Amino acid sequence: MRYRNKPELQDKLAAEYVLGTLRGRARLRFQAWMREDAALRRAVWQWESRLAPMAAGVAEVRPPRRVWRAVESRIAGGDVARAKPGFWESVAFWRGWGLIATGCAAALIGALALQKPQIVEVPKIERVEVPSTKTQQSYVAILHATQGGGDKPVFIAYVPRDSDELWVRRVALDPEPAGRGYELWGLPAKAGEPPKSLGMLPKDERGTIKLAAAADQSLRDFPALAISIEPEGGSKTGLPTGPVIAKGDTFQVF
Amino acid sequence: MDPAQNKRLAELLEACARQDRAAFAQLYQATAAKLFGVAVRILRRDDWAEEVLQDCFVSIWSHAGSYSPGLSAPMTWMTSIVRNRCLDWLRRPKVEVVLQREDEDAEDPIDAVPSDDPGPLDQLARSADAKALADCLGRLEVKQRQAIMLAFYDGLSHSELASHMRQPLGTVKTWVRRGLERLKACLGSN
């Protein structure tokens, strides 16, 4: 990490992030980095505390009634994505004072709670070859239904750094048809190469899938993931046999 | 925002974390106009600002339990959520196109403020908890202050600042960086 243990540089970047002049890819990289670096979150929080009073200088504008009505109906309809705590906290996404006090919370709220997948499209950063069975990077994949359109994700997978487990969460996946199971596949970059099974999805809304050896490799090599309907226990052929119900790209987060 | 108001907002957030809808309605009543003002100022389009505000309040409701009163004032927390969401919004490719078109019309965010209207700095100076910041902003060089205020209030990027202030990009970046450094030193000594 170029900026780790360089507090002055961290502080400068945090200031520009809070001010809003850190833009584009730099902003995305910074948000991803903030997720994993407590010192950086603290620097951001300090700058937010310094600059926040500037908002007092903004004239109030009464929003139209329809905004409140929309908020109310979304809350009543449960369109809140993360009504129950659990999954993401355990990935340390929401834990820790810094995260809460900083804009990182806002960034992640935008990215995950409101299910706007484009926010998590972190640009790919340079990859480091290190032989290990655990991930050297963290990854996130957001899968959308292949049928019926809609831009809402139906399934999210996340692998923290230094892990050999895939954290999975069903956002809006229909229950499996009777006697069938959902199998998760890694889709290779090269055309013609067969998908590789990453395992069966747990039946619960949230769960984990243990990755085979060389977890990093198994995700790095698959720019996209897909879910297909298979016999319970998994495809007998080692390849998807049933219809693919969801698909989405994998992003290296950090 | 005086301490009593801060305390009240923190209590409302705490009640929201317990799924208290009435408290949430009060929180909205108390803060929506300020937060909408922030969003409108940055996005310069009411429809976008409405969408951002709606998303932010849904987030505030579902993450009220994440708010820690000891760490930041309630308004700081909520303003950060709104500002960050606005800045993320401005990052979308289609937004940049629209902004460029507006720039061609030479719309000047400073000119847009009526002359008899107190500027943000004056309003800022009236708010007690923001007085220190207003003092420190007032001590910056004019260009540094302008660049920082345009970035904060109007959400201008470095390149937008450069074209707005008709200066090379590097010059504008230096103003921002030095201005922030001086601001930090000034606030630290207060």
- Using a CB–CB cutoff of 8 Å, tell me whether B96 touches chain A: no
pLDDT at A235: 86
pLDDT digits (tens, 9 = 90+) for B124-148: 655 655 778 888 888 889 899 889 9
Out of A113-122, A197-206, B23-32, B35-44, pick the least confident: A113-122
Q: Find out whether A114 and B58 touch, Cβ atoms under 8 Å.
A: yes
**Cα B30-B31-B37 angle, rounded to 5 deg:** 135
CATH number at B115-190? 1.10.10.10
Q: Where in chain A is the domain with CATH 2.60.40?
A: 128-252
Question: Cβ contact (<8 Å) for A52 and B184?
Answer: no
DSSP of chain A:
-TTTT-HHHHHHHHHHHHHT---HHHHHHHHHHHTT-HHHHHHHHHHHHHHGGGGGGSPP-PPPHHHHHHHHHHHHTTTTS--S-SHHHHTTSS-SHHHHHSHHHHHHIIIIIT--GGGG-PPP--------SS-SS-EEEEEEESSS--SSEEEEEEE-SS-SEEEEEESSPPPPPTTEEEEEEEEPSSTTPPPEEEEEPPSSSEEEEE--SSHHHHHHT-SEEEEEEEETT--SSSS--S-EEEEEEEEE--
pLDDT at A233: 85
B113-122 average pLDDT score: 48
Q: Find out whether A132 and A216 touch, Cβ atoms under 8 Å.
A: yes
Q: Where in chain B is the domain with CATH 1.10.10.10?
A: 115-190
Q: Please state the three-class secondary structure of B35-98 as a single string.
A: HHHHHHHHHCCHHHHHHHHHHHHHHHHHHHHHCCCCCCCHHHHHHHHHHHHHHHHHCCHHHHHH
- Using a CB–CB cutoff of 8 Å, tell me whether B171 touches chain A: no
How many beta-carbon pairs below 8 A join chains A and B? 202
Our CA-based measurement puts residue B109 at a distance from the nearest CA of chain A, in whole angstroms, of 13
Structure tokens of A45?
Answer: 């929080």
| Among the partner residues A21, A48, A100, nearest to B158 by beta-carbon distance | A21
- CATH fold of A128-252, please? Immunoglobulin-like (2.60.40)
- Using a CB–CB cutoff of 8 Å, tell me whether A58 touches chain B: yes
Instruction: Provide the pLDDT confidence category of residue A83 given band limits of 50, 70 and 90.
Output: very low
Q: Where in chain B is the domain with CATH 1.10.1740.10?
A: 1-107
| Among the partner residues A16, A74, A94, nearest to B176 by beta-carbon distance | A16
A220-246 average pLDDT score: 85
Q: Are strands A180-187 and A224-231 parallel, antiparallel or unpaired?
A: antiparallel
Question: Cβ contact (<8 Å) for B177 and A12?
Answer: yes
Q: Is the per-residue pLDDT at A111 higher than 70?
A: no
Q: Residues, chain B, total?
A: 190
Q: Is the per-residue pLDDT at B153 higher than 60?
A: yes
Q: Is the per-residue pLDDT at A183 higher than 80?
A: yes
Which ipTM score applies to this complex?
0.78
Question: Cβ contact (<8 Å) for A50 and B133?
Answer: yes
Out of A40-44, A60-64, A78-82, B174-178, pick the least confident: A78-82
Instruction: Provide the pLDDT confidence category of residue A149 given band limits of 50, 70 and 90.
Output: low
A41-64 average pLDDT score: 86
| Architecture of the domain made up of B1-107 | Orthogonal Bundle (1.10)
pTM for this entry: 0.55
Structure tokens of A4?
Answer: 């780790």
Q: Is the per-residue pLDDT at A69 higher than 70?
A: yes
Question: Cβ contact (<8 Å) for B158 and A56?
Answer: no
Instruction: Provide the pLDDT confidence category of residue A70 given band limits of 50, 70 and 90.
Output: very high
